[in-house]
A = this chain, B = another copy of it.
């Protein structure tokens, strides 16, 4: 017997209409590519999203057709999120940090019909347009006047010109909530990129879960700064959560340096910012160097890769900002866990609380997780047993776009995350490594993240990567690759001494290699596969 509740599908168009109705005057502030600041509201954003929907109708785009974007975080990108998905099409956020040939491959695989891009990325578009036969319409996210006269791109129009004459009313269609809403490709280290296809249902459920007090805790009293890009797992869903809660939104555009981000946080009175550790490192360095502070920001969500403990401590002790350590994946929409204390932990000492806050946190309701041994046998939640992490739930992938990339699920419908971690009795997950980054030394595992965190706590270290180097006796041994801070000095010996007493002797790296830079991927993560290649022949002193 079915219940007698209204059969209302969960649709993304409802988010923007809710925001427009209940938070018409809540602000959306964007630092534009043009350099100036732009101020808008949910009321205006909804009206312009409806114009986008009308404009897509006029282009003849069908249900589920893909609209690509190559864009920074800004109000126009936000309008596209809702205008495209709300009208039944799929927004496909391309990562502009990829090489042009990768952009071509992905746009063709996605069969994008329209591609909207920030003027920053005009050079990419010039390089790729001729190789993207499915793209019939190129839209530059700018005013008509800002459009260069002769780009060579056929039929190029400015976004403002494109939507100018469209009505700002639109009858959003109703359809199956499981319909595709957004597409994001993962940058796998091997093989072709794989498309993760989100649905309206998964997006709304993820927004509910992500806005909860034990997740990102978002309300109409917040001012959110998503520094994490909108081309990176939909900026962790923050645009949807913001519309759901009516929070003020601040978009940083292309300016992700420490000064620009800090200026924006202060001038717009941001209460919550979200980003990856590498960008936050620039922010912290700027604030430290210039003896600044955070007046209104009280918490920041850090994810994308493990946050060094030194950063969590620094934000807390020096600036009174709570770092919410989070963990997720493109295949998970992305939210899996967020670290927030429990009732019983509130009475603990500052150092006891910090020990908890260094972990990646607890699962949001909607995410089931387990850790298993190499035979797939479930391991206990004792905070000690380390195993492969598997997840399951309504905002987790069931397959990749077009079925290409293989079946991502194993027995029981679980998705293997590729991460290795422990879970304690209170459900706090601690990622100890990516399974492919673990260093397998003499039958024992060494966590590359543990080693990196210790190195990062050294005052002379700006960035550190720990990788496995083949070893004749132990199979693999750890090598520490280090970027020093500007004007800082430290020797190999001093760095290795720094590990004494912090880990077991056999976990101390065998050698240190100082480099000018560590290669970062398109989403800001360290590309350890490149480092492993580079140092494959490295001669360890102990070997």
Contact = CB atoms under 8 A, between A and B. Distances in A.
Given A205-B208, A393-B6, A398-B4, A220 B178 contact: no
B400 A4 contact: yes
Q: Which of A6, A400, A413 has the most CB of B within 10 A?
A: A6
A213 B213 CA distance: 6
Given A1-B180, A208-B208, 8 more contacts: A2-B178, A3-B179, A3-B200, A4-B180, A4-B199, A4-B399, A208-B209, A219-B340
A534 to B, nearest CB: 35
Contact of A392 (B8, B205, B400): B8
Interface stretch (A123-131, A242-250, A490-498): A242-250
Given A3-B180, A199-B5, A397-B6, A213 B217 contact: yes
A-B complex: 5 closest residue pairs judged by Cβ atoms: A3-B199, A22-B427, A1-B64, A208-B208, A213-B219
Majority DSSP secondary structure for residues of A touching B: loop
Interface in A234-253: 244-248
11 contacts: A2-B179, A3-B179, A3-B200, A4-B197, A4-B199, A4-B399, A5-B333, A5-B397, A7-B178, A26-B342, A208-B365
Interface residues of A, number: 79
A180 B245 contact: no
A217 B214 CA distance: 9
Contacts of A2: 176, 178-180, 199
Given A209-B208, A213-B219, A214-B219, A394 B5 contact: yes
Q: State the oligomeric state as a number of copies.
A: 2
Interface string A282-304: 00000000000000000000000
A21 B187 CA distance: 33
B362 A220 contact: yes
Contacts of A5: 178, 197-199, 201-202, 333, 394-398
A23 B397 CA distance: 26
